[in-house]
Amino acid sequence: MYKVTIIGSGYVGLVTAVCLADIGHQAIGYDIDRQKIKTLRDGRIPFYEPDLAEMFKKNLSAGRLTFTASFDDAMAEADLVFICVGTPAKADGSSDMGAYFKVIGAIKDHLKKTSNALPVVINKSTVPLGTARHVNTVIKNISIVSNPEFLREGKAVADFTRPDRIVLGFKDKSEPAVKILLNLYRSYRCPKLVTNWETAEMIKYAANAFLATKISFINEIANTCERVGADVQTVATGIGYDPRIGRQFLRPGIGYGGSCFPKDVRALQWLSLKKRYHFKLLRAVIEVNSQQRQLAVQKITQALGGSLSGRRIAVLGLAFKPETDDIRESAAIEIIKNLLASGARVKAYDPVAAKNSRQALKGKLNFSIAKSAMSAVTGAGLMFLATEWPEFLALDWAQVKKAMKGTWVVDGRNVLPRPELERQGLHYVGFGV
């Protein structure tokens, strides 16, 4: 058992703390936000993530999981220190490392005044290539490990407890920290890739950039399908059978969002430019993703006869994906802003992201949030599906048809049962079909 300190009790930090506590380690979560620490100590999680609450409460009650707003208390007797703070994108695409380097400075100051054994410091935060090597020059007497996270929001507990792989980057593969980290993760039966710092850091960026590329690629295929009479759904199925391609991330629509893909793709593009290399493919990936959001507004406008002024539109889904309340870089939020700017009246519904969305769209005229999907569609001239929550796929389409004033349904995720909608007299508009 290790005494593990997790710095940053946000999405990555809390999931890391809870899951490590669940396999028997003593985990202490630290955050500068005292209100967040109080919330956690009171047994409440400040965001929505399936399966996390039960595991959180179990380990909190067992005493394996604790929280503090005192940095020195968090660091006391720690064997391992995970850095899990945000590295948001700046306007130029580079990563804002302000919070990260504040942590590094605090660790350095703490080590100056302690005689305890030096901990191993582990980067879970997504950081630019060369960060671990730079930290090694700032704090020379500790082991720095690059251990990127691959958590999907909505499936984070499963991803942490049953990972596809664990990536570990070290200065030297023979250093003692290698055995420590392999021992920490010994119960996880998956490939464990031990490499150098820069390679580990690049693996995270490369993975997200590749997945984003698949999404933009299938969207370009969809846009071409619309012009030649092909069905992108069948095309995606056909190419997905090829094991070299795979079926995942081949669903066309309004593109990717969230806290990772947009940020990491831009960061990798920025890094390449900094090193005097123009990563042309990533520029196209970003442009296509932006284009899909504009295309959604065009499809909605065309369905409603060319003008949105005064038209009532129901938007189902506000989170950037199902099973999360995260609206960061959400396509739904951006599309709603564009619809409102064109004079539309929007009533939206999301089962968990309403609170965050109210804040993001605060002050917007002609926007409201409904308490149910049926409330949102009632009286609407058009329904737009933005997030593929399971409850939206199970709607009673006869009742939807009866509640709406219009008959148009624009499917931003290509998941709705088109034959059933059309059987009920609704007009279906998808992407690439």
Q: Phi-psi region for residue 59, left (φ > 0), alpha (ψ -120 to 50) or beta?
A: alpha
Q: How many residues does the chain have?
A: 433
Buried b (16+ CB within 10 A) or exposed e, 378-401: bebbbbbbbbbbeebeebebeebb
Q: Between β-strands 65-68 and 312-316, what pairing exists: parallel, antiparallel or unpaired?
A: unpaired
CA distance 419 to 223: 21
- Cα angle for residues 318, 323, 325 (degrees, 5° grid): 45
Alpha-carbon separation of residue 395 from 277, 316, 385, 417 (angstroms) = 49, 11, 12, 10
Task: Using the structure block, give the residue that is written with the tokens 């609206």.
Answer: 327
State both tokens at 184. Answer: 């920490």
Q: Which residue among 19, 84, 225, 260 is the active-site one?
A: 260
State both tokens at 226. Answer: 């619309």
CA distance 256 to 282: 14
CA distance 236 to 69: 49
Q: Is 166 in a helix, a strand, or coil?
A: strand
Q: Is 260 a catalytic residue?
A: yes
Residues noted as catalytic: 260
